[in-house]
Amino acid sequence: MSHRPRKRFGQNFLHDPVIIHKIINAIRPKRSDALLEVGPGQGAITCPLLEAAGKLTVVELDRDLIDPLQARCSTLGELTVHSADALTFDFCAVAGQQMLRVIGNLPYNISTPLLFHLLDQHQCIQDMHFMLQKEVVERMAAAPGCGQYGRLSVMLQQRCRVIPLFTIGSGAFKPPPKVESAFVRLEPYSQPVVQVTNQAAFEALVKQAFSQRRKTLRNALRELLDAEDISRLGIDPAARAESLNIDDFAALANQLHEIRQLQESGDQ
């Protein structure tokens, strides 16, 4: 397949057969799986996935890639192609009664917003396997207290088990990116790991807490909670967001939601 990678789509096509084999082994596709690949590109993992599972759904934004992909996969199984933007795609609509297994070599320029979009549909997803910038995977899996720990870490780990699997050198792609990549598995939890009374309040608080990392909670959250509200939970207002675990963020968010409800009831 001859196709010039397009920078505006963040295209870096996987071609290394050793890495492709490792990826397929990590996913372990079965005939009963509802597989969906984001950004199949030239079909490096599309073809072996389709051959193993017999059917595969793909979402591809670059229309020029679709006809060659369908031709390449025509004898391997049932390929369903959606010419669409994954950032706005309704994944649950294609899941039907099955849980999706989502796979993709995600463009670096949309990886974080796409992960958040998928999180919003986690109820219809069994697991996710992605090739991402290694630095992004490190942030996804980071623990409290380390420099990579941030908003992405908290939001993902609230809903998913994050399992980094292996690194991928830049030479595995054409054109080679300027950074190393990594392959990661995300397993959405069937039950929440923390009790959050209002997801919107949780998301707003985490975003605000990490908006200026060097600020203490007292200063970073002053528009949402005061120092007394924070202390009441046994959390030091002089601490920084990177030192808090997910339970701490849940407690702060639940406090915020309770205060907002009291304010709303007082206004009525």
What's the pLDDT score for residue 268? 56
For 189-243, write each residue's pLDDT tens digit: 988 899 999 999 999 999 999 998 889 999 999 999 999 999 999 999 999 999 9
What's the pLDDT score for residue 110? 87
What's the pLDDT score for residue 19? 94
Which of the pair, 206 or 14, is modelled with greater confidence?
206
What's the pLDDT score for residue 207? 96
What's the pLDDT score for residue 99? 97
What's the pLDDT score for residue 196? 96
The percent of residues above 90 in pLDDT, for the chain, comes to: 75
The percent of residues above 70 in pLDDT, for the chain, comes to: 95
Question: What would be the CATH architecture of the domain defined by 199-267?
Answer: Orthogonal Bundle (1.10)
> Looking at the predicted structure, is the pLDDT value of residue 17 above 60?
yes
What's the pLDDT score for residue 106? 84
pLDDT band at 56 (very low <50, low <70, confident <90, very high): very high
What's the pLDDT score for residue 96? 86
What's the pLDDT score for residue 212? 85
> Looking at the predicted structure, is the pLDDT value of residue 255 above 70?
yes
What's the pLDDT score for residue 1? 46
> Looking at the predicted structure, is the pLDDT value of residue 38 above 90?
yes
pLDDT band at 43 (very low <50, low <70, confident <90, very high): confident
Query: What fold is seen in the domain 7-188?
Result: Rossmann fold (3.40.50)
pLDDT band at 263 (very low <50, low <70, confident <90, very high): confident
> Looking at the predicted structure, is the pLDDT value of residue 9 above 90?
no
Calculate mean pLDDT across residues 10-39. 90
For 62-102, write each residue's pLDDT tens digit: 888 889 889 989 999 999 999 999 999 999 999 988 999 99
**For residues 131 and 267, what is the distance between their CA atoms, to the nearest angstrom?**
49
What residue spans define the domains of the chain?
7-188, 199-267
> Looking at the predicted structure, is the pLDDT value of residue 169 above 50?
yes
Angstrom distances, CA of residue 212 to CA of 172, 184, 245, 257? 36, 28, 17, 22
> Looking at the predicted structure, is the pLDDT value of residue 267 above 70?
no
